[in-house]
Amino acid sequence: MKDIALPSHLFMQSTEDTPVDFDTALAHAGQARRNGNQVISGALYIERELEHVIGLYLYPSPPITEQQRFVAAHILGADFLTFAAKKRLVLTIVNEKGLLEGKAKATFEEELGKVMLYRNAFSHGDVIEKGGSTYLKYFRGGPQEQELTDEYFDRIVATVRSVEKQIEAIKRAVMPPT
């Protein structure tokens, strides 16, 4: 498969006191976009895993039926069933089955929200180079700005991995015994 190139913006904020080097800004923006694509892909992975939990809950026993395929393709995979709606459904399953309680449940819910936030910020935000640093500007209840540092990306990775681990435990709990 070939690489494709499409136009994109390069935003820079430069002043006499804090000039921005074009080549550095270009390199930083490229790395930020590559990392952003990983964030978006990771969030999509989590969303598909939420769909899997819902599917296991609705249809716990094999074999896969025509109805299951329909639900997976036309409901769980449809664009009208948002990440937020899938999150609510999974949290309802978690609550009704008592799969997580207390701090573990609160942490899972909070981290799922962060995964959605990260995905939305990188999907809709702008990467900006200013003052020798790279920032992500996005809107969440108002304009937001996040410096893109290694530590920030480490937090994102840790959050996605934590959610992935919790979802795996939930899937095992929802699956019928074999």
CB 165 within 8 A of CB 114: no
16-37: pLDDT as tens digits: 787 888 888 888 999 999 999 9
Domain boundaries of the chain, sorted by first residue: 20-174
The more confidently predicted of residues 134 and 25 is 134
Reduced to 3 states (helix: H, G, I; strand: E, B; else coil), residue 125 is coil
Average pLDDT over residues 131-142: 93
Say whether pLDDT at 62 is over 80.
Answer: no
Confidence of residue 59 (pLDDT cuts 50, 70, 90): confident
Q: Is 15 left (phi over 0), alpha (psi -120 to 50) or beta?
A: beta
- Supply the pLDDT for residue 64: 81
- Supply the pLDDT for residue 11: 84
Say whether pLDDT at 178 is over 80.
Answer: no
70-95: pLDDT as tens digits: 988 899 888 899 999 999 999 999 99
The strands making up 133-139's β-sheet, listed across from edge to edge, are 11-13, 126-130, 133-139, 143-147
Q: What percent of the chain has a predicted confidence (pLDDT) above 90?
A: 66
pTM: 0.90
129 contacts: CB under 8 Å, gap ≥ 6: 10, 11, 12, 13, 20, 24, 25, 28, 29, 135
74 exposed, middle or buried (CB, 10 Å; 0-12, 13-18, 19+)?
exposed
Average pLDDT over residues 131-156: 95
Say whether pLDDT at 7 is over 90.
Answer: no
Confidence of residue 65 (pLDDT cuts 50, 70, 90): confident
